[in-house]
Amino acid sequence: MIDLALKMLLDEKARFAATVLGVGFAAALVLVQVGIFAGLLQNASITIERLDADLWVASRNAPNIDFGNPFPERYVDRVRSIPGVERADNLIVWYAFVALPTGAKESVEFYGLEDFPAWHFPWDVVSGEPADLRRGRFALLDASAERRFGAFQPGDFREFNGRQLKIIGRTRGALSFTTSPIAFVDYRIAQSLAPADLDGRTTFLLIRLAPGADHETVRAEVRKRLPYNDVYTQDEWAARSRAYWIESTGLGLTLALTVGLGALVGVVIVGQTLYASTTEHLADFGTVKALGGGNRTVFGIIAEQATFAAALGFGLALALTFTLAPLLERLDLKMIVSPMLIALVYAGTQALCLAAASMSFRKVATTDPAIVFRG
Amino acid sequence: MIVLEAHDVSKVYREGPHEVHALRGVSLSVRRGEVLAIEGPSGSGKTTLLSVLGCLLTPTSGRIVVDGRQVDPHRPGQLRELRRHAIGFVFQQFHLFAALTAAENVIYGLNLRGWTGEKARREAERVLGAVGLGERMDFRPRDLSGGQRQRVAVARALAGPSSLILADEPTGNLDGESGARVLDLFRSLARSEGRALVIVTHDPRVRTIADRVVTIRDGRITHEELEN
C-alpha cells in the first residue's frame, strides 16, 4: 500500500519540521511544567512518605508538615499505651535561623527526633550517622543547603538560632516545599533551639502500628485519648500537605493555565499547518475522491498526518525534557516525569492533534470531486 | 458491448433565485473499444457532462448506465464504487500526486481499487511500459515533462479493470508533439485493451482518433458524426 499521507507530509519538509517543532515545544512545556510541579509536590510530602509511621497526630487544623503547632509532648504517653501501637514518638518540625560565615542569616527547617534509626529517617545519608545525633549538639544537613548556605563539610560548626551545632554529616534529597534546607537534630536539641515555643512541647506524634493492628481501631482510640488533636494516616497527611500548597499558592491554577496554554499552542500550530496544507492539497483530495476514495479515505490521510506529527513531536518533547532534567537538578529543581505522566501527555498530544486535524475534515468533506475538472 | 449509456440526462444548478440548465436531455452511448469525442464551446456543458458520466456529479433527471449497472444518484457508495472499479480519469491538469513517483501514482490508484502488493506493482509496470515510461517509473512528476506527466495520468486511468476512460482536455496543456503522442496512445490502447474512451476537447486533432464526435451547445447535443 502506498502511504500517501506520510509521503505528502515528508514531501513538505519545512512545513513538517515546523509542525513537529511546534508540537514538540508545546508537549515539552506541558511535560516540564507538570514534572516540576510533581517534583515540588513531592518535596511537600517527601518526609511524610519516607518516615516509617502509619499514623500522624498533629495539632488541630495543622495545614501541613511545615506549619505544625506545638502541643504537650506528654501526649505521647497516652498513645503508647494503646493496644496495637508498636511505637510512638514525638517529632518536632520547626524553623531556625542559621548564621552563615558570610554574616548573612538563612532559615533552616529542622526535624527533631529522639531515635532517628527507629524511624528509618533520614533515608539517604551521604555521610555521618543519624544514631550519633543524640550524642551531642550535632546536626545532619541536607546537601541541597549548599546552594543557600555555601559549601560545608562534616566537622564545620554553624549557629542555629544563636546556638552552635556541629555538622556531622550530610543527607541527600531532603527538600521542603518552602525551599528552606532541612537539618536533622536530636529531639532535645530541637527544643533547645526554640525554647519559647517548644519547651515541653512537640509538633507531631508518630505512630507505628503492631503487625496485624487495625488502622481505624487504633485511630479511633487515639482520637478518643487526644480529642483536641487531628489524626491522619500517612497517605491522608501527605495528601493534605500537598493540597495546602496547591490551593494556597495558586500553583494548581498556574499549572492548569500553563498546561492549557501549551495544549492551545499545540492545537493552533497543528491545526493551522494542517489546514493550510489541506487547502493547498484540495485538488489532491479531489483526485483521491475522483479515483474512488470516500471522505473516510481523505479523513484517514489527514488523521494519519496529525498522529504522525504528534508522535514525532512528542518524541522531540521527551528528548527536550530529559535533556533539561540534569540542568534543573543542578538548580535543586526536581522534575518527576513518571511513566504515567508520559503516557497521559502522549495520549493528550495525540488527541489534541487529531482535534486540530478535525478543523480540516470539514474542508475536505465539502470538497467536490468534480474540482478535478476545473482548471 | 455498450459500456456507457446516458438517457435524457439533465443537470440544473441553482444560483440563488436563478436556475442554470447545464445539460438538457442529453442521450448517448459508448461501446467497448470506441473513442467518442465531445466538442463544444466554453460553457456549453462539456465538463458537466463528463462529471455526470463519471459519477462525480448526480444528474437532476435522466438515467446513466455504466457497465450495465444503472447509477443510483441517491447511493454515494455506489457512485464511489463505480469510480473505483469501472471508470478511469485523465485530467487536463494531470492531477498527479507530487509526493509520489510515477509508479507510486499508478499503484495508489490501484490501492484504492483494492489491488495491493506485487499484483499492483506488476500492473503499474505493465501500464507504464505501455505508455512508454518504463524507464521513468521512479521519477516524480516534477522531474517529468508535461507529456510524460500526462502519460502517467493515462497509465493510472488504464491500470486495473476500468472499462471506461473519461478524459478532460487531455492535450490541453501539452505541446503539439506531446499531444499527438498522447492521442496515438489513447487510440492504440482503446483498441488493444478494449476500453471505451470519452474525450472532452477543443483540440481538432482528437478527431483523427475518434470513432464518433458529438458537439454540445447550451447543454444539448446538437451534432453527431462518425469519423473513423
Render pLDDT for B2-46 as a digit per residue (tens, 0 to 9).
999 999 999 999 888 888 899 999 999 999 999 999 999 988 999
For residue A51, name the pLDDT band (cuts at 50, 70, 90). Answer: very high
Q: What is the pTM of this model?
A: 0.79
Cβ separation A284–B89 shorter than 8 A? no
Nearest CA in chain B to A294: B80
Residue A312 has pLDDT above 80, yes or no: yes
- What's the rounded mean pLDDT across residues A135-163? 92
- CB of A174 closer than 8 Å to CB of A95: no
- What's the rounded mean pLDDT across residues A324-337? 86
Hunting for cell 512537640 — which residue is that?
A202
Longest pairwise C-alpha distance within chain B? 55
Cell of A318: 521527551
Nearest CA in chain A to B46: A373
Task: State residue B228's pLDDT score.
Answer: 65
> What is the rounded end-to-end Cα distance, in angstroms, of chain A?
30
Cβ separation B104–A7 shorter than 8 A? yes
- CB of B62 closer than 8 Å to CB of B26: yes
Angle formed at CA A41 by CA A40 and CA A47, multiple of 5 degrees = 100
Distance from CA of A3 to the nearest CA of B (A): 8
Residue of B80, B113, B168 with shortest CB distance to A294:
B80
Task: State residue A230's pLDDT score.
Answer: 97
Looking at chain B, which runs of residues are DSSP E strands? 2-15, 18-31, 35-39, 61-66, 69-70, 87-90, 164-168, 196-200, 212-217, 220-226
Cell of A242: 500537598
Cβ separation B56–A294 shorter than 8 A? no
Between A360 and A210, the more confident residue is: A210
For residue A375, name the pLDDT band (cuts at 50, 70, 90). Answer: low
Q: Does A154 lie at the interface with B, CB-CB under 8 angstroms?
A: no
Question: Which CB contacts under 8 angstroms, 24+ apart, belong to A259-264?
Answer: A259/A30, A259/A33, A259/A34, A261/A29, A262/A26, A262/A27, A262/A29, A262/A30, A262/A33, A263/A26, A263/A30, A263/A348, A263/A352
B contacts of A2 (beta carbons < 8 Å) = 100, 104, 107-108, 111
Cβ separation A284–B97 shorter than 8 A? yes
Task: State residue A129's pLDDT score.
Answer: 95
Cβ pairs A/B, distance under 8 A: 78
Count the alpha carbons within 13 Å of B169 in the hemisphere toward its beta carbon.
18
**A29-44 pLDDT, tens per residue?**
889 988 988 888 888 8
Residue A373 has pLDDT above 80, yes or no: no
Nearest CA in chain B to A287: B95
Local structure of residue A371 (DSSP, 8 states)? G
Q: Does A283 lie at the interface with B, CB-CB under 8 angstroms?
A: yes
B contacts of A293 (beta carbons < 8 Å) = 80, 84, 112
- CB of A154 closer than 8 Å to CB of A127: yes
- CB of A301 closer than 8 Å to CB of A5: yes
- CB of B80 closer than 8 Å to CB of A259: no
Cβ separation B116–A294 shorter than 8 A? no
**A254-300 pLDDT, tens per residue?**
888 888 888 888 788 888 888 888 888 888 999 999 999 988 999 99
The total number of residues written for chain A in this structure:
375
Of A3, A1, A4, A5, nearest to A307 by C-alpha is A5
Local structure of residue A133 (DSSP, 8 states)? G
Residue of B89, B98, B107 with shortest CB distance to A290:
B89
Residue of A11, A284, A292 with shortest CB distance to B112:
A292
Q: Please state, in angstroms and as integers, the Cα–Cα distance from residue B22 to each residue in A114, B50, B80, B94, following that order.
A: 97, 12, 23, 24
Cβ separation B95–A10 shorter than 8 A? no
To the nearest 10 degrees (0 to 180), the angle between helices A282-290 and A295-330 is: 140
Peptide bond into A122 cis (omega under 30): yes
Cβ separation B97–A8 shorter than 8 A? yes
Phi, psi for B120 (deg, rounded to 5): -65, -40
Chain B residues with a Cβ under 8 Å from any Cβ in chain A: 47, 50-51, 54, 56-57, 76-77, 80-81, 83-85, 89, 91-93, 95, 97-100, 104, 107-109, 111-113, 116, 156, 168
Task: State residue A188's pLDDT score.
Answer: 96
A61: left (phi over 0), alpha (psi -120 to 50) or beta: left
- CB of A6 closer than 8 Å to CB of A304: yes
Task: State residue A94's pLDDT score.
Answer: 97
Hunting for cell 538560632 — which residue is that?
A161
Cβ separation B95–A372 shorter than 8 A? yes
Task: State residue B61's pLDDT score.
Answer: 95
Task: State residue A276's pLDDT score.
Answer: 86
Of A110, A245, A85, nearest to A167 by C-alpha is A110
Residue A246 has pLDDT above 80, yes or no: yes
Burial zone of A253 (CB within 10 Å; 0-12 exposed, 13-18 middle, 19+ buried): exposed
Peptide bond into A227 cis (omega under 30): no
**B35-81 pLDDT, tens per residue?**
999 999 988 999 899 999 999 999 999 999 999 999 998 898 999 99
Residue B208 has pLDDT above 80, yes or no: yes
Helices (H) and strands (E) in chain B, counts: 6, 10
Distance from CA of B205 to the nearest CA of A (A): 21
Identity of the residue numbered A159: E
To the nearest 10 degrees (0 to 180), the angle between helices A295-330 and A4-11 is: 50
Q: Does A216 lie at the interface with B, CB-CB under 8 angstroms?
A: no
Residue of A291, A292, A370 with shortest CB distance to B51:
A370
Mean pLDDT for chain B?
91
**A117-146 pLDDT, tens per residue?**
999 999 999 999 999 999 999 999 999 898
Task: State residue A374's pLDDT score.
Answer: 66
B contacts of A287 (beta carbons < 8 Å) = 91, 95, 97
Local structure of residue A178 (DSSP, 8 states)? T
Distance from CA of B36 to the nearest CA of A (A): 18
**B140-170 pLDDT, tens per residue?**
999 999 889 999 999 999 898 889 999 998 8
Cβ separation B93–A283 shorter than 8 A? yes
Pairing of the two strands B61-66 and B164-168: unpaired
> What is the rounded end-to-end Cα distance, in angstroms, of chain B?
18
Distance CA B27, CA B4 (A): 10
Distance CA A130, CA A184 (A): 8
Cell of B143: 522531474
Between A264 and A323, the more confident residue is: A323
Hunting for cell 481501631 — which residue is that?
A217
- What's the rounded mean pLDDT across residues A339-361? 91
Distance CA A325, CA A336 (A): 9
Of B225, B188, B223, B190, nearest to B207 by C-alpha is B225
Identity of the residue numbered A122: P
Cβ separation A8–B99 shorter than 8 A? yes
List, in order, residues 6 or more apart from B80 with CB less than 8 Å away.
A289, A292, A293, A294, B55
Give the percent of chain A with pLDDT over 90: 66
- What's the rounded mean pLDDT across residues A173-181? 84
Residue A332 has pLDDT above 80, yes or no: no
Distance from CA of A372 to the nearest CA of B (A): 7
- CB of A343 closer than 8 Å to CB of A261: no
Burial zone of A371 (CB within 10 Å; 0-12 exposed, 13-18 middle, 19+ buried): middle
Among A192-196, A253-257, A324-328, the range of highest mean pLDDT = A192-196
Selected for mutation to probe chain A from B48, B53, B56 (highest A CB count within 10 Å) is B56
Distance CA B81, CA A227 (A): 79
Task: State residue A49's pLDDT score.
Answer: 94
Nearest CA in chain B to A293: B112
Q: Does A290 lie at the interface with B, CB-CB under 8 angstroms?
A: yes
